[in-house]
């Protein structure tokens, strides 16, 4: 028997896909790879989604946690170039969960995106992209979530990418907001940097999450970052005649700061 599986990242697109596929594939199995470092808003959203879907979402944990893999990687912080976290914390747990079963993996990449999504190298896992096939775009995703009553994850008030609270794919404004809304988590992210800085000896190591400055230095520029962000929001609203949904304004503004394609496994 072929299994139908859909991975939730805690992000809007995979969540909208789960809602979209609910009645189309009734025997769908849902899973969430929990790094143990997710935002509280993400756990809350996954619970709400579980209620809406009417079936459990399997929480998959890596056999070893982030700190273990950081130790294996000689104390190196993960980065876009050296992304040791995704294979160990997201991909391996998924592949172990599927095992040798034949499976169709439903991926929430949209028709208006130019990325592939995570494709398992395992031959028994076949990826499919219903949103691409059906021409579903970002606005459609917003509508699917709104119509279902689920809405967006709460972190969408300040951040647009799901994943770990310290994810290096965060933009400057998102770091500032992490410090405002979750000072304890921001401090933990700072602690990682301090630990790496203290223990590192090799010059090629990544010492900071941003790759440019420490989080403490970034936070010293808080006023400047917020002001720049607010100005961009104002500009966005004026070009859209104040008629755009705020979540899409936030996405556009943050992407204009840094549109590095986010992680294919974590940010869907
Ligand atoms: S969310 Fe970011 S830090 Fe976490 S596993 Fe994914 S890429 Fe790594």
Query: Does residue 210 share a domain with residue 113?
Result: no
Q: Is 165 a domain residue?
A: no
Q: What is the pLDDT of residue 88?
A: 92
Region 83-97: mean pLDDT is 92
89 pLDDT above the threshold of 70: yes
Query: Does residue 76 share a domain with residue 114?
Result: yes
Query: Does residue 144 share a domain with residue 11?
Result: yes
Query: Does residue 209 share a domain with residue 118?
Result: no
Of 122, 156, 190, the position where a domain reaches its end is: 156
Ligand 1, residues 164, 208, 261, 268: which to mutate, most atoms within 8 A of Cβ? 164
Q: Which atom of ligand 1 is nearest to the CA of 86?
A: 5
Nearest residue to 9 via CA among 167, 168, 164, 162? 162
Q: Is 183 a domain residue?
A: yes
**How remote is the CA of residue 141 from the centroid of ligand 1, in Å?**
23
Q: What is the pLDDT of residue 242?
A: 65
200 pLDDT above the threshold of 70: no
Of the ranges 12-16, 89-93, 97-101, 264-268, which one carries the lowest mean pLDDT score? Answer: 264-268
Region 206-228: mean pLDDT is 92
**pLDDT tier for residue 116 given thresholds of 50, 70 and 90:** low
Closest Cα to atom 8 of ligand 1: 85
Residue 136: give its domain's CATH number.
3.40.50.620
Query: Does residue 217 share a domain with residue 87?
Result: no
- This prediction's pTM: 0.92
Q: Is 44 a domain residue?
A: yes
Q: Which atom of ligand 1 is nearest to the CA of 265?
A: 6
The residue ranking higher by pLDDT, 235 or 175, is 175
Q: What is the pLDDT of residue 4?
A: 98
Query: Does residue 119 share a domain with residue 29?
Result: yes
Mean pLDDT, the chain, whole residue set? 90
**How remote is the CA of residue 37 from the centroid of ligand 1, in Å?**
9
Q: Is 109 a domain residue?
A: yes
Give me the number of domains the chain comprises: 2
Domain containing 193 equals 172-257
Query: Does residue 86 share a domain with residue 30?
Result: yes
């Amino acid at each position: 028997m072929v299994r139908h599986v859909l991975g939730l990242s805690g992000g809007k697109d995979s969540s909208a896909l789960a809602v979209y596929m609910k009645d189309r594939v009734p025997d769908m199995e849902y899973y969430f790879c929990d790094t143990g470092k997710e935002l509280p808003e993400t756990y809350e959203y996954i619970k709400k989604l579980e209620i809406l879907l009417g079936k459990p979402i399997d929480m998959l944990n890596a056999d070893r946690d982030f700190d273990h893999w950081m130790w294996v990687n000689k104390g190196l912080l993960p980065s876009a170039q050296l992304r040791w976290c995704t294979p160990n914390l997201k991909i391996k747990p998924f592949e172990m969960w599927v095992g040798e079963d034949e499976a169709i993996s439903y991926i929430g990449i949209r028709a208006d995106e130019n990325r592939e999504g995570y494709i398992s190298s395992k031959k028994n896992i076949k990826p499919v992209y219903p949103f691409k096939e059906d021409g579903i775009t970002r606005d459609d995703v917003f509508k699917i979530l709104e119509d279902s009553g689920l809405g967006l994850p709460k972190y969408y008030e300040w951040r647009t990418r799901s994943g770990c609270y310290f994810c290096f794919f965060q933009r400057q404004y998102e770091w500032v907001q992490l410090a405002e809304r979750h000072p304890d988590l921001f401090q933990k992210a700072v602690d990682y940097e301090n630990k790496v800085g203290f223990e590192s000896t090799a010059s090629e190591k990544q010492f900071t999450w941003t790759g440019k400055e420490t989080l403490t230095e970034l936070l010293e520029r808080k006023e400047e970052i917020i002001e720049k962000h607010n100005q961009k929001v104002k500009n966005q609203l004026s070009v859209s005649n104040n008629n755009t949904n705020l979540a899409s304004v936030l996405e556009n503004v943050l992407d204009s700061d840094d549109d590095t394609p986010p992680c294919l496994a974590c940010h869907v």
